[in-house]
A and B are shown apart, each in its own frame.
Chain A
Amino acid sequence: QVQLQESGPGLVKPSETLSLTCTVSGGSINSYYWSWIRQPPGKGLEWIGYIFYSGSTSYNPSLKSRVTISIDTSNNQFSLKLTSVTAADTALYYCARSGVAARNFDSWGQGTLVTVSS
């Protein structure tokens, strides 16, 4: 049973860079798509983007200029960087797995809350 665990700072200052890592255990990071999805407090889900194990990526156009997703297959981890954050980026950030691009997210992390505040 694959497990995903997000990690990173829970507090980020405005204009700085949000950095999160998702560690995959109980299964290989190969042959899957790995996504980041966020949920502002009390609001709905927003797809941020994905990376394929080979390194190809796709990003939400509304965030594309600020987002980078990378992968470290040797350590079964993938990461999210979001630059120039504002209070609007405060959210619960989930990492998730899918066998196909941008859909059918069958395994999720528990989520990590990131607050943007000075």
Chain B
Amino acid sequence: QSALTQPASVSGSPGQSITISCTGTSSDVGGYNYVSWYQQHPGKAPKLMIYDVSKRPSGVSNRFSGSKSGDTASLTISGLQAEDEADYYCSSYTNNSLGVFGGGTKLTVL
């Protein structure tokens, strides 16, 4: 069970859109529509932003969206705001009812 692969960092200017990728295998990301995304600000616990690939929990801005193609899932943040600067982690359900996280991506708002 290996960690999912995410870029170490991405950046964008306010108002722009960015996309963070999350690559796994057919045993996790590619095999199930069970990818979730978490936002973590420094010193805080992670917050669920997207679940089941593209669903948003109540209270999460519609600027956040998720998608999946094959073994790669993506998180897109549109209309980038300063408050979006944080670490983002993807997670997937895997074979045998296990969970796995990505290595995390640091988003910098320029």
Contacts and interface: CB of A to CB of B under 8 A. Distances in A.
Do A and B belong to a common assembly?
A: yes
Binding site secondary structure of chain B? strand
A58 B46 contact: no
B64 interface: no
A75 to B, nearest CB: 23
Binding site secondary structure of chain A? strand
Contacts of B93: 100-103
Interface stretch (A23-31, A79-87, A106-114): A106-114
A1 B36 CA distance: 21
Contacts of A108: 45-47
Interface in B34-80: 34, 36, 38, 45-48, 51-52, 57
Contacts of A109: 45
B103 A104 contact: no
B34 A44 contact: no
B36 A45 contact: no
Contact of A44 (B45, B96, B97, B104): B104
Contacts of A106: 48, 51, 57
B19 to A, nearest CB: 19
A29 to B, nearest CB: 19
A105 B52 CA distance: 11
B57 to A, nearest CB: 6
Contacts of A100: 34, 93
A58 B96 contact: yes
A50 B34 CA distance: 16
B21 interface: no
Given A44-B104, A106-B57, A108-B46, A61 B38 contact: no
Contacts of A115: none
A62 interface: yes
Interface string A50-94: 100000001011100000000000000000000000000000001
Interface of A: 35, 37, 44-47, 50, 58, 60-62, 94, 100-106, 108-111
11 contacts: A35-B99, A45-B91, A61-B1, A94-B46, A102-B99, A104-B36, A104-B48, A104-B52, A105-B38, A105-B91, A108-B45
